[in-house]
């Protein structure tokens, strides 16, 4: 399986986990700020899933310690800030301008697709760069 195909498959898996976590959250709580809470929980679930998959199968990194792993995850999360803004912008934009769950999730899928494309480049350059450079030496 090519790297691009694996990355796409993992992006789809993380997207489904993100949307499932959102749906579970909204089902469990529909009070004030429920959508924002759901989006935050979905983002966290997708982020953790995607980190584990990317680290292991895309960048083939085995961390030497939990501390190193936490450091990489922190960097991974930081590169996700801009991409999360893209994703949330699309999801909220579709919610506000079109309305309804289907439109909101369509916006989420579009935003996540764009975000994951950007995120790969950021992660390759900043999160896993030293690991990739060490392999090339």
Q: What is the pLDDT of residues 52-63, one digit of tens each?
A: 999 999 999 999
Q: What is the pLDDT of residues 96-115, one digit of tens each?
A: 999 999 999 999 999 999 99
Domain positions in the chain: 3-136
Q: What per-residue confidence (pLDDT) applies to 137?
A: 46
Q: Which long-range contacts (CB under 8 A, 24 or more apart) does 112-118 make?
A: 112/11, 112/14, 112/15, 112/18, 112/46, 112/87, 113/11, 113/15, 114/86, 114/87, 114/90, 115/83, 115/84, 115/86, 115/87, 116/7, 116/11, 116/14, 116/50, 116/83, 118/82, 118/83, 118/86
Q: 3 versus 22: which is more confidently predicted?
A: 22
Give the residue-averaged pLDDT of 68-85.
Answer: 92
């Amino acid at each position: 399986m090519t790297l691009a195909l694996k990355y796409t498959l993992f992006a789809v898996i993380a997207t489904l986990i993100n949307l499932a976590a959102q749906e579970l959250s909204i089902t469990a709580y529909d009070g004030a700020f429920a959508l924002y809470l759901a989006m935050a929980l979905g983002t966290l679930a997708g982020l953790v899933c995607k980190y584990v998959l990317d680290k292991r199968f895309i960048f083939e990194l085995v961390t030497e310690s939990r501390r190193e792993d936490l450091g990489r995850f922190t960097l991974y999360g930081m590169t996700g800030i801009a991409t999360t803004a893209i994703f949330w912008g699309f999801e909220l934009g579709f919610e506000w301008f079109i309305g309804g769950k289907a439109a909101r999730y369509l916006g989420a899928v579009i935003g996540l697709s764009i975000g994951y494309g950007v995120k790969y480049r950021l992660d390759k350059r900043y999160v896993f760069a030293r690991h990739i450079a060490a392999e090339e030496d």
